[in-house]
Structure 1
Amino acid sequence: MSGPTLVIELAEPLSRAALREFRALMVGLSSHFDEKWPGFFDVNVPAERLGVEDRREKDWRKPFPLPLLGNASADEELTALVGFNPQREDWRRPFLVYLMGPGVGDESIFEAEHADEPEVEAILGFRPTHAVNVSAGCNREIDHVTTALLTAAVMDLIGGVANVELLDGQASVVAGLPGVLGIADDWMALGSAEFLRAWVGHPAFRLVK
């Protein structure tokens, strides 16, 4: 995905009832919903459904340079960027929201991503058995906000602890926010849904892309 990803660490597998509620939440928040398999959702989530106002103009266009020499070499193309192609920005807010771990999918990736993390486990107080990834397919400021709030909404329902990678200099800021359980290795914050909402409201908020 082209935007940020947040991870929800889980201490145990989701029950069938919790998985049904998770699915219902994603259906309710999404303007487009596709379930690849149980617990794997390909969705579009409008920012407004998470309480965020998107203030961009409806006719906003982003210019893309157009090379005029179709058969030119790469270097020649770079010197021929003299036109602009107005394209409408994608407003759909695409996300992949999916459960990972033994018995549900991407088990090898889950194991690799959670190998040798004693400091994380010490802060969590448990060894994660599963996780939910919330991955944005868009990377504007509002997309970072939407990613954090969507993750918080999922956590309100299924529980877990948010695992948030930090940019340089953010650790000292994040450490003082409500809901923070701890900072691992100076670049990974672990906390609750309350932490995510507090982080979104801070002037220094920005997720790692």
Structure 2
Amino acid sequence: MSGPVLTIELAQAVPPTVIQRLREFLIRSSAHCEEKRVGEYDLNVHAESLGITDTGGVDGRRPIMVSVTGPGMGDEAAFEAEHADQGDQELRLSFTPTHAVAVIAFCNSTVDHVVTVLLTAAIMDLTGGVANAELGEDQVPTVTELPGIIAVTADPWPAAYGSAEFLRAWTEQPGFRLVK
């Protein structure tokens, strides 16, 4: 995967009614939406559907995968592997994640970073949860002061945990870009 990735940490499984609303939202927001399994979607997201008008000259249809993971949802092994080296997230989040939603871009232009963040924020509006974003050392001072930030950690690597409000505010910062 060559583009940025964000994770939404969840305290419980995503209910079927929320999965249905997520599916409907992704269909409305995309030129192409293929459901690989319940909770996993291969998309070409319309950047304009997220309010992005400047695509930097690239096609506004951005390739993204959205995948709900965790027990009973599929990709349990991926969920376990991703969380094995996270440490005790309950200290940071006030809960231990049981499920997650991964938002994965397949391209790495500036617009892909913004699409990934704004799509993640829109998904959080439906699912709840806390965004988990890796940071570069130079990004730590910037994100620490943003609204909706819950925690910033340095170990095992710099990361920010925050709300959808945090994600949206972060995209407004000069030079915004996700690490991965």
TM-score in terms of structure 1 length: 0.81
What residue number does 2:33 align with?
33
> How far apart are the structure 1 equivalents of 2:109 and 2:86?
31
What residue number does 2:152 align with?
183
Identity %: 52
Structure 2 counterparts to residues 16-95 of structure 1, below 5 A: 16-54=16-54, 56-57=56-57, 91-95=60-64
Does the 8 Å contact 1:31/1:45 carry over to 2?
yes
Does the 8 Å contact 1:42/1:97 carry over to 2?
yes
> How far apart are the structure 2 equivalents of 1:13 and 1:55?
34
Does the 8 Å contact 1:119/1:184 carry over to 2?
no
SS at match of 2:74: coil
Structure 1 residues 55 and 206, CA gap change in structure 2 (3 angstroms):
closer
> How far apart are the structure 2 equivalents of 1:27 and 1:55?
20
SS at match of 1:163: strand
- 1:127 paired with 2:96, answer yes
> How far apart are the structure 1 equivalents of 2:86 and 2:95?
11
Q: Which amino acid aligns with 1:191?
A: G
Q: Which amino acid aligns with 2:113?
A: H
The gaps in structure 1 that reach 5 residues or longer are: 58-88
Structure 1 residues 55 and 109, CA gap change in structure 2 (3 angstroms):
closer
After superposition, give the CA deviation of every residue in 1:91-145 in whole Å (9 maximum; x if it has no partner): 5310000101111111111112112534532111000000000000111111101
> How far apart are the structure 1 equivalents of 2:40 and 2:85?
26
> How far apart are the structure 2 equivalents of 1:196 and 1:178?
9
CA-based RMSD: 1.5
SS at match of 1:7: strand
Deviation at 1:204, TM superposition (A): 3.5
Larger radius of gyration: 1
1:192 aligned to which of 140, 163, 167: 163
